[in-house]
Amino acid sequence: MAPRRHYAQLMKMLCILLPLLWVFGGRVANGGESVFPGVHWEARMPEGVGMSREKLAALKELVGGRGCVVRHGYMVYAWGDQSKSSDVASAFKPVLSTLLFMAIQEGRLKSADDLVVEFEPRFKSLNNGKDATMTWRHLASQMSGYGLAEAPGDAYSYNDFALTLYYDLLTQKVFKTNGTEVLRTRLAEPLQFEDIATFDAFRRADRQGRLALSVRDFARFGLLYLRNGQWRDKGVIKPEFIQMAINSPIPATTPRTSGREADMLPGQHSIGGTRNITPVGPGYYSFNWWLNQTNLAGQRLYLDAPVDAYVASGHGGKRTCWIFPSLDLVVCWNDSPIADHDTSPGNPDTKCNQAVKLLVQAAGRP
């Protein structure tokens, strides 16, 4: 057991250090200074940043839809309509947790472990007070127990009712405005999004919180993470929050919910799915990001991706923002036919894994 513990500790340290090393590695690759897009992305040929055009073309054929590849801060490959802004489904969730960190950064919350009941006092009586111990971390980790029999922190449930609660309370009660305004002032304007960015993707009152972005703007968000919260000469989000987001997976031993339902707040709607969508998550899920770590069975989420890779994934892989720190690479796509994220752990044959294998090969790794 001791060697396994030491290995796990080593992997955790590598996941913390590699993003930092690649911030500086990217600077070396680009003449000593990190590259960021301005009003538009600066383009480079794939060969100019050490990437295979042939492998990227194969990626395009596999993924379909529309997408883009950013390496060393340059746009090096793109397909489909780059300006089209549309729903990114559950890939929006790390964006929401980034706004949570910004609320803490601004002093609106003390920490991710603040109690949600401070902003929603009805939790004192709902379900005999079971939900009163719910924290923002629980909501961001799919461990809230909201609408289910378990108490907060007791079980994992990929729960779109809880995510709607998370979105509504964070935007309306903590920031005291609507989500699109929070997005505009905290991310869209500082990162100079080129296209429409809105949390009202479907223009429906019962689907508020569905984020619409273009792939090239989603790549800007990914680059912010790749650069450890820095955007040119400004720290948009503190590095410690970036590192917390991508290094806090829920334990692989976490049990899944029983599925037994409990009361929710009156009028509660879902952002799209049910209270108990998938068993996949323990060992991988960290502030709504999917880390390329291992589950209780020792299965890595993506066998052919670097250990430091992480992804925002929606609709099983149809809509994604991938980040590969050790490759200094951000890749986004939307409207893809790929939808096998949930069957990827330990499985080399899923299309999700085949896509990341092509990306690794395109970046010159065997």
Domain 2-362 falls under CATH 1.20.1250.20: no
Q: Match 């619409």 to its residue by tokens.
A: 212
CA distance 77 to 79: 7
Binned at pLDDT 50, 70 and 90, residue 214 comes out as: very high
Which residue type occupies 174? V
- Average pLDDT (206-215) is 87
pLDDT at 202: 82
- Average pLDDT (166-176) is 98
Residues 6+ apart with CB under 8 A from 24: none
Binned at pLDDT 50, 70 and 90, residue 203 comes out as: confident
Residues 6+ apart with CB under 8 A from 128: none
SS3 content of the chain, % helix, strand, coil (to 5): 40, 15, 45
CB 95 within 8 A of CB 211: yes
Pairing of strands 74-79, 86-87: unpaired
Return the domain boundaries, the chain.
2-362
Residue 15 has pLDDT above 60, yes or no: no
Q: What angle do CA 127, 128, 133 make, to 5 degrees?
A: 85
Residue 71 has pLDDT above 50, yes or no: yes
CB 228 within 8 A of CB 328: no
CA distance 151 to 237: 31
6-36 burial by CB neighbour count: b if 16+ within 10 A, else e?
A: eeeeeeeebbeebbeebbebbbebbeeebbb
Binned at pLDDT 50, 70 and 90, residue 22 comes out as: very low
Q: Where are the alpha helices (DSSP H) in 248-324?
A: none
Which residue type occupies 21? L
On whether the pTM is more than 0.85, the answer is yes
Question: What's the chain's Rg over C-alpha atoms?
Answer: 20
